[in-house]
Structure 1
Amino acid sequence: MSHPFSVTTCWCWLVRSRHTTSVSNALISTFSLDYTHMTSPLLRAGLVGFGFVAKVFHLPLLQASGRFEITHVVERTQSLSAAVLPRATIVRSLDDLLATDVDLVVIVTPTNMHYAQAKAALEAKKHVVVDKPFCVSHAEALDLVATAKANNVVLSVFHNRRWDSDFLTVQDLVQQKTLGDLQYAEIHYDRYRPEPKQNWRESPETLGGGLVYDLGSHLVDQMLRLFGTPESIHADVQSQRGANLNDDYFRLECRYADGLIVVLTAGMLVKELGPKFILRGSAGSFEKYGLDEQEAALRDGVSPHDAAFGVEPESIHGTLTRGETKTTVPSRRGDYIVFYRGVADAIEHGAAPPVSPEDAAHVIQIVETAKQTHRRTQEDA
């Protein structure tokens, strides 16, 4: 049977224990800062790139952390950051940034640029945060881990979905064994975008683009945090909106030694959204609809210090079912600020980074393997 899109399936084996891995510019300017608790000078941060992710996520969270001052921005040809960071210096190259006294380099560029840029910054003995996904390949990731260690600097990756309201709630249920012995879990990240965007993520010519790298890295990281490393992964990756586009659907079926099955799935043609999380265990089940509110709040210019930031409405709280009894489980408050405060603690006090580069490398190992199945199918078509 022929299909209007490419489909591929493979099995990859990963041997480890399940329990191994325990806006607008105007709106951005409204974020308030509270440095009254500070007893030491702010760390100096430089942004490499000033697109959507830099403006909506990294800029406000760096500021709201109360630990960083954004002193430099790398923009090759434009000066968009001047409107919201008038005191920051715009430089035209990474080399220019590395010649300054910035403490932290935050890389927010297309994925295929992450490795070379992070490598250069680490070798210049700068602390580095890389936006997810970490890089294109597991080999690149391992080299960056080694480079950070060799230069005695902090390296972390912005896996912010560890601090989503729904994920924190599910993490509590798993750790407390509320559902007994888990048998099955699903984590979704679905959207309805039938018209592809003309950007690097959608282009099949760009390494590190596509949905497996973009959203898959979030889901894989959440799975590893909740359940550890699976023994095997069955990967189905598709380009449903056209064979000449990057992948826009995936389903990863992950199996564990104790019988647990975890399904990670995302697609761009899902108009009627189902549950975000489904968990089934020997003592009950849990379902949770809706998306974490923090991204939408940041888009709207809501300060991370606002009392309502990260608080989900009761209408999307999850449901715990035990026998015939259904109970609403209040969602924990999401807290993206934790990330950059953790980075500051790692730099200043030697604490473990909020996301270890080893964890991020493990994510890329799984994502890269799934993505390779899609490339092989395209080549065989």
Structure 2
Amino acid sequence: MQPIKTALCSFGMSGRLFHAPFIETLSYFELYAVWERSKKLAAEKYPSIISYDNYEDLLADDAIELVIVNTPNATHFEYAKKALLAGKHVIVEKPFTVHSDQAKELQTLAEEQSRKLAVYHNRRFDSDFKTVKKVIDEGYLGKIVEAEIHFDRYKQELSPKTHKEMPGDGTGALYDLGSHLIDQALTLFGLPEAVFGDIRIIREISKVDDYFEVLLYYPELRVRLKSSYLVREALAAYSLHGTLGSFVKSRGDVQEANLDKKILPNTADWGVEPDTEKGLLHTEKNGTVVRDYIDTLLGNYNDYFRQVYEAIRLDKPVPVSAEDGLNVIRVIEAAFESSEGKKVVKF
């Protein structure tokens, strides 16, 4: 089938690491164009790419089928809407939008335009998360009663990405890292009945939230999502406890680190975690208690893009739907409402 001519809305870290390498190496796609307002960095790496000075000219190019909106969070709604109105299929970086009504509007517009709209929650395709999902799906732990997912960092300094560190729509740790954790929790357990949030600024230099704890209430399950920028000694990224046993796993996916080293995703052993990052399964099998480290599944963001291709060319479902992205934003909004009012918010 014919490759999908694809355009990026920027060539910062997101474009350079999380999108261009996959569009470049997968035969399903052609890295065709980019919107670069000033610095023309994409052409240095991809000489054949078309670099547009403004977005309207990019959208007017009839050859472009797919637009990847990988710009600052507050612009996602505007740029995705323009792309859909221009008749393009769209991938929107996480978080999908800042507000849930924006997400709903984009979802409706994509349906009206008969265009595919996907959200880039790539962490579903991390090796660690895929392994956690397998452990749950295969019933190793029995009925899950408690789960905790962390995404911690130790960063005294502010990010050089100033749009992430200044107060404004869609900034802060909950929109940034929280989007990943919420999407993973909803993928594993579905929508909660209620949400409690504790969202704070803990570094003296920070102007946006850099700490959060979000508790999701289910009838017989509690899921805790936590992130802090002042964790030098990280706890396990995943801790799950059920009626049969427990599973504890580090955040061991190597894809981002390899992409940062300019290792392309078509290389051998892509997405293979070190053996030192294996998760510990302590449970009961056939009446016998077992405690052992289990093999980690391969991480592979290629699978996300392959599913986008099949959605566009074969009319299959997108890997992460607008509805999925919308639900993440709904939880974020409920968490902020909870934190501000110091109350549990029904979902």
How does the TM-score come out when normalised to structure 2?
0.94
- In the alignment, residue 304 of structure 1 is paired with which amino acid? P
Q: CA deviation at 1:64?
A: 2.5
Task: Name which structure has the greater RCO, CA cutoff 8 Å, separation 6+.
Answer: 1
Question: Quick check: 1:237–1:373 contact (8 Å CA) kept in 2?
Answer: no
- In the alignment, residue 327 of structure 2 is paired with which amino acid? H
1:336 counterpart (301, 307, 311): 301
- In the alignment, residue 336 of structure 1 is paired with which amino acid? Y
2:86 counterpart (110, 114, 124): 124
Identity, in percent, stands at: 38
Deviations 1:16-38 (A, max 9, x none): xxxxxxxxxxxxxxxxxxxxxxx
Partner residue in 2 for 1:51: 12
RMSD: 1.5
TM alignment of 1:266-285, pairs within 5 A = 266-285=227-246
Deviations 1:191-211 (A, max 9, x none): 00011225111111x211110
Partner residue in 2 for 1:22: none
2:336 counterpart (352, 366, 371): 371
Supply the distance in 1 between the matched residues of 2:217 and 2:108 (Cα, whole angstroms). Answer: 30
How many corresponding residue pairs?
A: 336
Partner residue in 1 for 2:345: none
**Are 2:63 and 1:69 aligned?**
no
1:349 counterpart (288, 303, 314): 314
Deviations 1:56-112 (A, max 9, x none): 110001123221111111011121111111101110111011110200001110000
Question: Quick check: 2:141–2:246 contact (8 Å CA) kept in 1?
Answer: yes
Question: Quick check: 1:128–1:154 contact (8 Å CA) kept in 2?
Answer: yes
- In the alignment, residue 315 of structure 1 is paired with which amino acid? T
Residue 201 of structure 1 aligns to a residue whose secondary structure is helix
Q: CA deviation at 1:181?
A: 1.0
Residue 255 of structure 1 aligns to a residue whose secondary structure is strand
**Are 2:160 and 1:200 aligned?**
no
Residue 226 of structure 1 aligns to a residue whose secondary structure is helix
Partner residue in 1 for 2:183: 221
TM alignment of 1:125-144, pairs within 5 A = 125-144=87-106
- In the alignment, residue 165 of structure 1 is paired with which amino acid? S
* Runs of 4 or more consecutive aligned structure 1 residues displaced over 4 Å after TM superposition: 372-377
Supply the distance in 2 between the matched residues of 1:244 and 1:218 (Cα, whole angstroms). Answer: 21
Unaligned segments of structure 2, at least 5 residues: 343-347
Supply the distance in 1 between the matched residues of 2:115 and 2:48 (Cα, whole angstroms). Answer: 27
Partner residue in 2 for 1:19: none
Residue 232 of structure 2 aligns to a residue whose secondary structure is coil
Q: CA deviation at 1:289?
A: 1.7
Deviation larger for 75-84 or 236-245: 236-245
Partner residue in 1 for 2:281: 320
Supply the distance in 2 between the matched residues of 1:265 and 1:355 (Cα, whole angstroms). Answer: 23
Deviations 1:204-244 (A, max 9, x none): 1x211110000100000000110111111110001111386
Partner residue in 2 for 1:172: 134
Supply the distance in 2 between the matched residues of 1:177 and 1:304 (Cα, whole angstroms). Answer: 32
Question: Quick check: 1:253–1:261 contact (8 Å CA) kept in 2?
Answer: yes
Question: Quick check: 2:127–2:300 contact (8 Å CA) kept in 1?
Answer: yes
- In the alignment, residue 86 of structure 2 is paired with which amino acid? A
- In the alignment, residue 355 of structure 1 is paired with which amino acid? V
Supply the distance in 1 between the matched residues of 2:334 and 2:245 (Cα, whole angstroms). Answer: 33
Supply the distance in 2 between the matched residues of 1:338 and 1:277 (Cα, whole angstroms). Answer: 22
Supply the distance in 1 between the matched residues of 2:55 and 2:341 (Cα, whole angstroms). Answer: 34
2:198 counterpart (226, 230, 236): 236
Question: Quick check: 1:196–1:241 contact (8 Å CA) kept in 2?
Answer: no
Question: Quick check: 1:187–1:265 contact (8 Å CA) kept in 2?
Answer: yes
Deviations 1:104-123 (A, max 9, x none): 00111000001010001101
TM alignment of 1:33-44, pairs within 5 A = 40-44=1-5
Deviations 1:114-139 (A, max 9, x none): 10100011011100001111010000
Partner residue in 1 for 2:21: 60
How does the TM-score come out when normalised to structure 1?
0.85
Supply the distance in 2 between the matched residues of 1:351 and 1:224 (Cα, whole angstroms). Answer: 21
Deviation larger for 60-69 or 207-216: 60-69
**Are 2:92 and 1:92 aligned?**
no
**Are 2:152 and 1:187 aligned?**
no
Residue 215 of structure 1 aligns to a residue whose secondary structure is helix
Supply the distance in 1 between the matched residues of 2:262 and 2:205 (Cα, whole angstroms). Answer: 37
Supply the distance in 2 between the matched residues of 1:374 and 1:123 (Cα, whole angstroms). Answer: 37
Unaligned segments of structure 1, at least 5 residues: 1-39
**Are 2:319 and 1:358 aligned?**
no
- In the alignment, residue 279 of structure 1 is paired with which amino acid? L
Deviation larger for 154-163 or 60-69: 60-69
Partner residue in 1 for 2:74: 112
**Are 2:216 and 1:254 aligned?**
yes
Supply the distance in 2 between the matched residues of 1:167 and 1:244 (Cα, whole angstroms). Answer: 29
